[in-house]
């Protein structure tokens, strides 16, 4: 019979380090509720402004809750983490533009910008300054991972073979994340919850929030993975997949540049057709537009599309 555990966010860590002492030891099959801080480490509030983005220093690392040791986990095993639920711990979220930190270059977005969102009771996130946009809340942990095999402290910013900052928006309730175990005990940590995000997270932040995340952990002994895998119980876009979408495309020999152009075209569309400011449009692309590689075989040009669900306009 499984045991349920609770781990609050009074103590967090800011780097992957296999030598961190576990805050909790659990058995395979147990359920854990992680309280997590938002990626700003509770820096932003409902009263924050654009100037607060400029005043905030560089990210020293995401605040992660954990690590949690899973008894009998050994290198060469797989840790299956089933997402049982993700709930906001505050009634608001935020998205920030920091010049030079997103997909688009700083000369196109030279100003710091903060978008605050109301996370309402009907499962919708609404821009505080607008009444015509409502983004479905589909919360998930942006970071979930085991400890790395390499010694020392490693940044939480890039995703790695342990999982980490995958920013995979499909890690919602019911999804299973299969993580390689690199060290004894696995040493699971979770953080950086998002209320909503588009595939690409193009302005560098989603709808960031503090959260309560319930998971079940199960060991698969002797199943060695090289990198994480996921199993999703249903459609990839359960809240937005039934309505209309608008997409832009770009073509060329550089996928990164194609992604930039597709997003720029989508921003232009949102400004011209929907009356958003350029900053609002960039933010909206980050929290609900999906980048897709539509072909990568017709040399010398590859194709990228940026799709936005038009159901977010109310």
Query: pLDDT (tens digit, 9 = 90+) per residue, 194-240?
Result: 999 999 999 999 999 999 999 999 999 999 999 999 999 987 777 77
Q: For tokens 């002492």, what's the residue? A: 21
Q: What is the pLDDT along the chain (314 residues), one digit of tens a residue?
A: 789 999 999 999 999 999 999 999 999 999 999 999 999 999 999 999 999 999 998 898 999 999 999 999 999 999 999 999 999 999 999 999 999 999 999 999 999 999 999 998 789 999 999 999 999 999 999 999 999 999 999 999 999 999 999 999 999 999 999 999 999 999 999 999 999 999 999 999 999 999 999 999 999 999 999 999 999 998 777 777 678 999 999 999 999 999 999 999 999 999 999 999 999 999 999 999 999 999 999 999 999 999 999 999 98
Peptide bond into 74 cis (omega under 30): no
pTM: 0.95
| Cα 168 from Cα 293, distance rounded (Å) | 16
**Which tokens is 196 given?**
């909503």
Residues 6+ apart with CB under 8 A from 135: 117, 124, 125, 126, 196, 207, 284, 287, 288, 312
Fold matches, 4-231 and 245-312:
no
| Cα 7 from Cα 68, distance rounded (Å) | 9
pLDDT for position 216: 98
Architecture of domain 4-231: Sandwich (2.60)
Architecture of domain 245-312: Roll (3.10)
pLDDT for position 236: 75
| Cα 177 from Cα 231, distance rounded (Å) | 7
Domain boundaries along the sequence of the chain: 4-231, 245-312
User: How crowded is residue 286: how many other Cβ atoms within 10 Å of its Cβ?
Assistant: 26
Are 177 and 144 in contact by the 8 Å Cβ rule? The answer is: yes
| Among 99, 134, 142, residue whose Cα is nearest residue 117 | 134
Are 72 and 14 in contact by the 8 Å Cβ rule? The answer is: no
pLDDT for position 243: 85
| Cα 193 from Cα 60, distance rounded (Å) | 17
Each residue of 259-282: b (16+ CB within 10 Å) or e? bbbbbbbbbebbeeebebebbbbb
Residues 6+ apart with CB under 8 A from 215: 31, 32, 34, 81, 82, 83, 84, 190
């Amino acid at each position: 019979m499984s045991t349920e555990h609770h781990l609050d966010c009074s103590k967090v860590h800011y780097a992957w380090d296999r030598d961190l002492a576990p805050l909790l030891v659990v058995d395979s099959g147990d359920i854990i509720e992680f309280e997590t801080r938002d990626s700003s480490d509770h820096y932003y509030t409902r009263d924050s402004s654009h100037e607060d983005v400029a005043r905030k220093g560089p990210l020293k690392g995401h605040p992660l809750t954990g690590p949690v040791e899973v008894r009998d986990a050994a290198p060469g095993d797989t840790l299956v983490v089933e997402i049982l639920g993700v709930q906001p711990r505050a009634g608001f979220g935020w998205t920030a533009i920091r010049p030079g930190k997103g997909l688009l270059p700083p000369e196109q977005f030279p100003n710091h910008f903060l978008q605050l969102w109301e996370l309402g009771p009907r499962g919708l996130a609404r821009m505080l300054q607008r009444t015509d946009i409502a983004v479905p809340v589909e919360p998930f942990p942006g970071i979930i991972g085991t400890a790395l095999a390499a010694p020392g402290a490693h940044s939480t910013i890039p995703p790695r073979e342990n999982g980490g900052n995958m920013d995979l928006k499909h890690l919602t309730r019911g999804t299973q994340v299969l993580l390689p175990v690199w060290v004894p005990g696995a040493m699971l940590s979770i953080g950086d919850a998002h209320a909503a995000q588009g595939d690409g997270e193009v302005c560098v932040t989603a709808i960031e929030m503090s959260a309560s995340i319930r998971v079940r952990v199960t060991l698969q002994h002797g199943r060695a993975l090289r990198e994480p895998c996921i199993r999703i119980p249903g459609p990839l876009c359960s809240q937005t997949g039934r309505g209309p979408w608008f997409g832009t495309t770009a073509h060329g020999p550089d996928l990164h540049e194609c992604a930039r152009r597709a997003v720029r075209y989508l921003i232009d569309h949102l400004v011209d057709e929907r009356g958003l400011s350029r900053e609002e449009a960039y933010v909206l692309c980050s929290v609900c537009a999906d980048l897709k590689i539509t072909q990568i075989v017709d040399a010398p040009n590859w194709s990228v599309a940026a799709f936005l669900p038009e159901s977010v306009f109310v």
